[in-house]
Copies of this chain bind each other. A is one copy, B any other.
């Protein structure tokens, strides 16, 4: 697994973190315990007691502190041991790792690298569930596959024509036409006009239109996508540039998706999706989410099967295709940043 460590990883939905209930998650093979105290503060520590390696996530919240419930060591939120029952002197190295953690855009973000470099400006600008402009559904899926395979899937949308023939169903011309891929500082931008279309099979429009979609795929593995349907001719008129969404006729939606590598063969995939308030309501959101549930299940079947084939293949090699430019650019960026670390 090559992943960038100096990055914010999504650890969960903030509304699922209950006060004084420690929550355990593994990110990049490191066990982390996250908890929210009565004061509303959120802390994240290495989930492993210094004494005998019991998980702190089985522990008890006491004010801002967390007590290991095996032999009672009490941890300050910075990871230092504050109490060892039956013992006056606490060794100076009695300390577990503390992770920077932030709640934003409805997600818990954990910084896995050097804490001194934890810059909140690097948190990808996802759209939170409380955003005023969008009506969003949400969920998550656990994968028995490494995160990189899910990233690769999200970096090449030509799979929609095949994997999602029965859900999103964008039709064969989608896989034939190229997308515009632009490198970003910490990711890539994907833009695609589909001209003279009546839309995906799941959401047909009355007459032919021009349809636009764009997403940024950002380190460590966050997809932020929007799009909409525009009057026929808009694509040509804009010379295939990005449109002004106020001109959209229909279909403006936003989806935030995040892929979190847990261990070598496990990952958690978080997602939200829904219409702009001017283009839909709760009913449309629920309809979109039921399509998404089906489609994300299709991805999971394909990617977990792909993982199994890879694991049975001695010296597995891929053969990049024309659509792999996004995959290649992003993985090269990951490699470069990981190497710099």
A residues near B (Cβ < 8 Å) are 26, 29, 31, 47-48, 50-55, 58, 67-73, 84-87, 91, 93-94, 152, 156, 158-159, 161-163, 165, 172, 175-178, 263, 301-302, 305-306, 308-310, 312-313, 316, 318-323
Complex Cα gap A309–B302 (Å): 31
A162's partner among B67, B308, B321 (CB-CB below 8 A) is B67
Does A69 contact B319, Cβ atoms closer than 8 Å?
Answer: no
Query: Which residues of chain B have C-beta atoms less than 8 A from A70's C-beta?
Result: 159, 162-163, 302, 306
Of B29, B47, B87, B323, the residue contacting A85 (CB under 8 A) is B323
Closest residue on chain B to residue A30 by CB atoms = B312
Rounded to whole angstroms, the CA-CA distance of A244 and B298 in the bound complex is: 59
Check if A176 sits within 8 Å of B86, measured CB to CB: yes
CB <8 Å contact, B305 and A54: yes
B322 adjacent to A87 (CB under 8 Å): yes
B84 touches A53 (CB 8 A): no
The 7 lowest CB-CB distance pairs between A and B, nearest first, are A87-B322, A85-B175, A69-B162, A54-B306, A72-B162, A50-B319, A53-B309
Q: Which residues of B contact A91 (CB under 8 A)?
A: 319
Q: How far is the CA of A178 from the CA of B72 in the complex (A)?
A: 14
- How far does the alpha carbon of A106 sit from the alpha carbon of B93 in the complex, in Å? 47
B162 touches A306 (CB 8 A): no
CB-defined contacts of A84 to chain B, threshold 8 Å: 321-322
Q: How many copies does the complex hold?
A: 3
A312 and B85 contacting across the interface, CB-CB below 8 Å: no
Contact A51:B312 (CB < 8 A) given known A69-B163, A86-B175, A162-B70: no
Given contacts A69-B165, A69-B302, 18 further A-B contacts (CB under 8 A): A31-B312, A51-B321, A52-B306, A53-B309, A55-B305, A58-B302, A58-B305, A69-B162, A70-B159, A70-B163, A71-B158, A71-B159, A85-B161, A86-B177, A86-B178, A87-B322, A87-B323, A91-B319
A176 to B94, CA, bound (A): 19
Complex A-B: 13 CB contacts under 8 Å: A26-B312, A29-B312, A48-B313, A50-B319, A54-B306, A55-B308, A69-B162, A71-B162, A71-B321, A72-B162, A72-B175, A84-B321, A85-B175
CA of A309 to CA of B91, assembled, Å: 22
A46 vs chain B, min Cβ distance (A): 10
**Chain B residues closer than 8 Å to A308, beta-carbon distance:** 55
Most chain-B Cβ atoms within 10 A of its Cβ — which of A58, A94, A162, A308? A162
CA distance A73 to B321 in the complex (A): 10
Would you give the shortest CB distance from A307 to chain B, in whole angstroms?
9
Which chain B positions have C-beta within 8 A of A323? 71, 85-87
Contact A175 B312, beta carbon cutoff 8 Å = no
- Whether B71 contacts A309 by the Cβ 8 Å rule is no
